Structure 1
Amino acid sequence: MDLDGSKRVFQRLGPAAVTASSSGRDKDNKQQKVCFLWRDGRCDRFPCPYLHRELPPPPPHQSVGNGMGSSKRNSGFSRDDHYVGGGGMRRNSNFNNKWGRQQQQHSHGSNNRGVGKKTDKLCSYWAQGKCTHGDKCWYLHSWSTGSFSLLTQLEGHEKVVTGIALPSGSDKLYSCSKDATVRLWDCQSGQCAGAFNVGGEVGCMLSEGPWLFVGLTNLVKAWNTQTNSELSLDGPVGQVYALVVGSDFLFAGIQDGSILAWKFNVATNSFVPAASLSGHTSAVVTLVVGANRLYSGSMDKTIRVWSLESLQCLQTLTGHSDIVMSVLCWDQFLLSCSLDQTVKVWVATESGNLEVTYTHNEETGLLTLCGMHDLESKPVLLCSCNDNIIRVYDLPSFSERGKIYATQEVRSIQVGPGGLFFTGDGAGQVKVWSWTTESIATS
């Protein structure tokens, strides 16, 4: 498992207008015009006379991350807001009418794997190494269908993995779990490089620059991975479920429905309590920052929009009918998922308020969202569902790209450099995945 630990990566999507380099063969054989069918995820022409790449090409050595530009950070805590995708959510985008438009069309980039099989359900006996049916088994003998490859599986946690992080400047992958431990994994060998007990269930993890934050019950712990210093941030009442950084604030979503904010003091190298944001009537389980706004999702079935300048609530979104499990920013849009079996896409109107512009339906509740780009720099959305499957979709069409299977629910997804990403599931397993140029056939 070869990672570049010095790159800070985010599990959010970058701008829609992502560039990718075109090969010399593309320039020789194709017109310098991008295929609009390819952009919509439904081009089936071979050879196609137009480019299946975006123009213009990017500068060399472009790293994978949110926005897919350079993700290097300085060693301080300060950050900019561009990480959620350029200018954040802009008003009245002409991109709105493309959401889900190819939902019933052929899914570009995927094929009908498992032809002849009775179901696309994972074979539980195969997962345990006990299936004797081989190719004749009616169930899948593969951890994925699509352009993904499982590189390695990291074993050690005894309960659900609740967070995965790659701190800046570190050559270690970090994972946390409800088994009250944080584990370090060597990015070269994939071996566990250490484990320490933090004294209670870990609800979430966040890395920002050299800092690693862990949400516990009634406490947030912070480690500086460069200086090995450790800090304890008091104030939470109950489990800390979500952490995010924005405008030099560290925000924590708490079990009692509050959102606590700390400000980093450079002079004292400490975190000073700054504010407590109240309004949610139940636990805050997801947070994201974008467009100078903080967005919080709660067990009270609502999303609240907060100003990062005044820390006041600007709007309450009530489109979901069950717990809002995950929110993320992509370009000018806010995406949210819920146990109500929907992914909702929100866009700002002329008044500045957010409204639903598209709803994607699943057959089961959703647990978490993660955005990244494939090897062609096309934006994709990973949706972890309650049936232990991660469904991968092209954006904005929501055409299916493939599925990733687990024996228990996947609670954590983290994007890494170079087409890598990581998943953590209810069985305590951390898996390392890579995008591939060819679809993986099941056998």
Structure 2
Amino acid sequence: MDLVEGYGSSDGDEEIQIPTEPKKFKVQSAPEVGLEEKYLENKLYLAPGQQTMSINLTHEVLSQPVLGPENRNKKRRENQNVFTGVVEEQGISEFDFRAQERSFRSLGFALNPSDSVEEAKYVGNQEQVERLKGNNFLTNTIKNNVDLKRKAKGDPSIVEGENAYLGPWAGYEGEKLGVQTGPTDEEKAAYIARNATKELGEAETSKKLRENEETTTFHGKNERDYMGRSYMHPPVTEVEHVNFSGQSEVQQCFAPKKCIHQFSAHGKGVSAIRFLPKTGHLLLSSGMEGKVKIWDVYGSHSLLRTFHGHTKAVRDVTFNNDGTRFLSTSYDKYVKLWDTETGQCLNRFSSGKVPYVSRLNPSEQNLFITGQADKKIIQYDIRTKEKVLEYSEHLGAISTLAFVDNGRRFVSTSDDKTMRVWEFGLPVVIKLIADPSMHAIPAIALHPSNKFIACQSLDNQVLVWGVGDRFKQNRKKVFTGHLSAGYACQLSFSPDGSYLTSGDADGKLWVWDWKTCKVVKRFIAHKNAVTIDAEWSPVEASKVATCSWDGTIKFWD
């Protein structure tokens, strides 16, 4: 009841308060705030990672350190104060910078990079500046010379001759546009006479070389024995485990182990060696001094004959099928055919370009092909002494050639890192092997079965291709381990086809098993020089000959 009594109307005498409308105040979203120095020092800092600011601050404020602890692992900014001043980054055109840099290097002056009016406009050789009037190889002297005057436009009624109409195309006074410059008539006549004398001298020297300097020297006592047999005949005395008739079956071959003889063959490096086909009792070698020599293998191990006729290094030699003749390929732009027995030069072939390799067709011995430095393969006929055909599809110098399929086809490699298969007598590529991962192939060897070729790749690998009906790479056979990059190290198979040999840049001889691709033997054959060639004897099971750029030839057994 007390609550009811307490709840009652107010006294009538009291005044009733009427609510009034609240006053409206103007909101200032961006009030003017005084930025005192003390306020800046205590309150305003740059947050880490902040990239924009809504107010303008002085340089002193912006250069203050970033709020928070300093990262010790972060590199400090390099000190820009140097002895000559302060280093500051500036934006400049690459073209303008290179132009001024080359001008200063070639002419001795350049534009002054400073903006100061008091300093000179150019820095460097001021005499050169005055002489060239500040022009370099990129500026036009006529255009920048304000003293020159334009030529008169001429009379519009005159087309040619004096006072002809030039119009807006009139040039400047003193210009030499269209004036022919160069050697005078006297200088041209002297140049022609000098070159004619030089060419005549070279022609006479070449003619003298062909006619008189192709000689041979026999180093033995007698060229023939009491029965009239020359050194081309196999040894009369029996050699143990050697059959020179060539009719017996191929023996099982073994990897060589030790050196049994060494020849000091050439005054300079030895480029190639070849055993006499079938009997193998003679060894042919070519040298960097331009000579070709033939050696006795089983008798006295002596030099039998030297062939003189090249003025530059001989790069390659190759026998015909019976060994009675051979081709020598030299850097003097000549391929020469020699008689192995008499040493007589039978013929000379040249197209005016440097030949690198020559190969006789095994089925047509009167034809041979030559790979040249001008990206072409030339086919010659020995009987007519003329060029028969030209194969021109490669994009680089020819590295090596190899006949396959009994001379019906041949393979060529080039510095363009491609391999091409040709039909002999038809200058059209029947197979092109080009892959971005391929390297140049400077050497090829044909397997005794005539079914595979081994290719020396300059990425320190020996790759294998099948040469049957389908010319395809055998990717399961890859021989590695040696260092051949940069050198044309030749390859050779053992007579039974069970081993593959190659030299390398360190002077080693590598022997791989043909079936397993594993290294069977490796040893240093020549110290401090590349082993450029290795040849298996055609009649002995384990004899290998190696040659090197140190001028030596070694026999291994």
TM-score normalised according to structure 2 size: 0.48
Distance 2:379 2:282 in 1: 28
2:372 is aligned with 1:254 = yes
Shift of 1:349: 8.5
The residue aligned with 2:355 is 240
Higher relative contact order structure (alpha carbons within 8 Å, sequence separation ≥ 6):
1
Shift of 1:334: 2.4
Shift of 1:231: 2.8
The residue aligned with 1:141 is none
The residue aligned with 2:540 is 418
Residue type matched to 1:195 in 2?
Answer: T
Contact 1:241 1:285 in 2 (8 A): yes
**CA offset digits 1:197-224 (Å, max 9, x no partner):** 3221101001113111100121101112
Contact 1:369 1:381 in 2 (8 A): no
Distance 1:200 1:64 in 2: 40
Aligned residue runs from structure 1 range 426-441, under 5 A: 426-434=549-557
Structure 2: unaligned runs, 5 residues or longer: 1-230, 235-245
Shift of 1:393: 0.4
- Percent identical: 18
2:292 is aligned with 1:182 = yes
- 1:159 corresponds, among 268, 282, 286, to 268
The residue aligned with 1:222 is 337
Partner-residue secondary structure (3-state), 1:218: coil
Distance 2:484 2:441 in 1: 10
Aligned residue runs from structure 1 range 242-391, under 5 A: 242-246=357-361, 247-248=363-364, 249-265=367-383, 271-291=385-405, 292-319=408-435, 321-330=438-447, 331=449, 332-347=451-466, 352-358=470-476, 359-362=478-481, 364-365=483-484, 367-373=488-494, 377=496, 379-391=498-510
Shift of 1:235: 2.8
Shift of 1:284: 1.3
Aligned residue runs from structure 1 range 185-200, under 5 A: 185-187=295-297, 188-197=299-308, 198-200=310-312
Distance 1:170 1:401 in 2: 24
* Closer/same/farther in 2, CA of residues 393 and 360 from structure 1, 3 Å limit: closer
Contact 1:382 1:393 in 2 (8 A): yes
Structure 1: unaligned runs, 5 residues or longer: 8-58, 69-108, 110-145, 435-443
The residue aligned with 1:42 is none
Question: Runs of 4 or more off by more than 6 Å in structure 1?
Answer: none
Contact 1:242 1:286 in 2 (8 A): yes
Distance 2:502 2:281 in 1: 28
Distance 2:382 2:375 in 1: 23
Distance 1:154 1:289 in 2: 31
Aligned residue pairs, count: 296
Distance 2:276 2:466 in 1: 31
Structure with the larger helix share: 2
Distance 1:165 1:257 in 2: 26
Contact 2:392 2:427 in 1 (8 A): no
Shift of 1:5: 5.6
2:317 is aligned with 1:205 = yes
Partner-residue secondary structure (3-state), 2:257: strand
Structure with the larger strand share: 1
CA RMSD of aligned residues (A): 3.1
TM-score normalised according to structure 1 size: 0.60
Aligned residue runs from structure 1 range 95-110, under 5 A: none
Shift of 1:232: 3.4
Shift of 1:388: 2.0
Greater Cα radius of gyration, structure 1 or 2: 2
Partner-residue secondary structure (3-state), 1:324: coil
Contact 1:368 1:383 in 2 (8 A): yes
* Closer/same/farther in 2, CA of residues 227 and 251 from structure 1, 3 Å limit: same
Residue type matched to 2:329 in 1?
Answer: G
Contact 2:232 2:341 in 1 (8 A): no
* Closer/same/farther in 2, CA of residues 172 and 361 from structure 1, 3 Å limit: closer
Distance 2:352 2:479 in 1: 35
